[in-house]
């Protein structure tokens, strides 16, 4: 049997010892890919290296990660996209709007007011993921104490999936603050690096802690910096490991909008640009819910109506 080639880490960078490697990891550069995509100034400031050593380390990382930086033809990109996986939302009409369901290598955001169905959709996505990929784990990161295993059981019964399998394959954790939330996503990436298959990652809700911890205009810069770190972390995980990522998000009223619905998701432009699919959930007539696709890179806007029932969703 051929000997497995050793996977290089940041300790293998020229001029980087254990203590410097630890500083780089703590500073947000845990792998060669992050080093390769960084600037000498960043590495110097965080790792305490001289500029010449930082440049050599970056060049080494870029050579190792060369395939990640090669230009590709549109045809090659199209071929790569054949590896995408899709998971149903459990709402037939919404799957149609999304071009076949929730897509991997991208972040899908569901935003809306309380009671609009965000967590319901997140729970159903977990069941649909296990239904399609029974040998893969699903991770549910809970920031608002909204995770309910009994809801998984109800949805599983309605979808004809073994409830015990769903309870086994869905793993969850409570994030107690924004820093803990980031650490938990790092833990998910560690699971993936250790070849533990994960089809879906849910963060419900993404902005809750950031909104509560950073109050007032004086904290805006720090808040946006931390949001950028957290959402970029999710985008990288989705792309590198071909995972479906769902985030739920809270909303606010835009006082400057005089006509139409003034409701808008919180989180700023960075969150808006990084989430590739944005779906606005709201209450409709006769107890229904309305799902509006308001942003997607290659799909038209549209909306559908559905009902939330005991064992699943029903198109209106």
| Distance in angstroms (rounded) separating the CA atoms of residues 199 and 242 | 8
Domain 10-69 CATH superfamily: 5' to 3' exonuclease, C-terminal subdomain (1.10.150.20)
- Round the average pLDDT of the chain to a whole number and report it: 88
Instruction: Between 7 and 152, name the one with better pLDDT.
Output: 152
CATH code matching the domain that covers 80-315, chosen among 2.60.40.10, 3.90.650.10, 3.40.50.300, 3.90.550.10: 3.40.50.300
Question: Is the predicted pLDDT of residue 4 greater than 60, yes or no?
Answer: no
pLDDT of residue 276: 94
* pLDDT tens per residue, range 116-145: 999 999 999 999 999 999 999 999 999 999
* pLDDT tens per residue, range 194-230: 889 999 999 998 988 887 777 766 666 676 778 888 8
pLDDT of residue 24: 85
Torsion of CA 237, 10, 197, 77, to 10 degrees: 50
* pLDDT tens per residue, range 12-21: 889 888 888 8
| Distance in angstroms (rounded) separating the CA atoms of residues 178 and 301 | 32
* pLDDT tens per residue, range 80-106: 888 899 999 999 999 999 999 999 999
**Residue spans in the chain of domains classed CATH 1.10.150.20:** 10-69
Question: Is the predicted pLDDT of residue 1 greater than 60, yes or no?
Answer: no
**Which uninterrupted H or E stretch holds 41?**
helix 40-47
Instruction: Between 222 and 53, name the one with better pLDDT.
Output: 53
């Amino acid at each position: 049997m051929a000997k497995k080639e050793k996977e290089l880490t940041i300790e293998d960078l020229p001029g980087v010892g254990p203590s410097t490697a630890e500083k780089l990891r703590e500073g947000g550069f845990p792998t060669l890919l992050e080093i390769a995509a960084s600037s000498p100034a960043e590495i110097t400031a965080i790792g305490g290296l001289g500029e010449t050593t930082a440049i050599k380390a970056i060049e080494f990382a870029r050579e190792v990660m060369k395939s990640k930086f090669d230009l590709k033809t549109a045809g090659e990109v199209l071929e790569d996209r054949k590896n995408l996986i899709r998971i149903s939302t459990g709402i037939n009409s919404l799957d149609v709007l999304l071009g076949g369901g929730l897509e991997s290598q991208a972040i899908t955001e569901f935003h809306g007011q309380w009671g609009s169905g965000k967590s319901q959709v997140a729970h159903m996505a977990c069941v649909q993921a296990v239904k399609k990929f029974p040998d893969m784990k699903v991770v549910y990161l809970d920031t608002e104490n909204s995770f309910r295993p009994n809801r998984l059981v109800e949805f599983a019964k309605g979808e004809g999936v073994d409830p015990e399998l769903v309870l086994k394959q869905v793993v969850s954790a409570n994030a107690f603050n924004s820093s803990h939330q980031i650490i938990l996503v790092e833990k998910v990436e560690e699971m993936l690096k250790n070849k533990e298959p994960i089809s879906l990652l849910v963060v419900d809700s993404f902005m809750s802690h950031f909104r509560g911890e950073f109050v007032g205009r004086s904290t805006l810069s720090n808040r946006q910096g931390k949001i950028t770190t957290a959402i970029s972390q999710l985008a990288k995980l989705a792309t590198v490991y071909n995972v479906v990522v769902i985030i739920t998000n809270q909303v606010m009223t835009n006082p400057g909008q005089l006509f139409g619905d003034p409701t808008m998701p919180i989180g700023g432009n960075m969150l808006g640009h990084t989430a590739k699919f944005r779906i606005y959930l709201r209450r409709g007539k006769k107890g229904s819910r309305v799902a509006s696709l308001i942003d997607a890179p290659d799909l038209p806007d549209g909306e559908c109506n559905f009902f939330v029932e005991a064992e699943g969703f029903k198109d209106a």
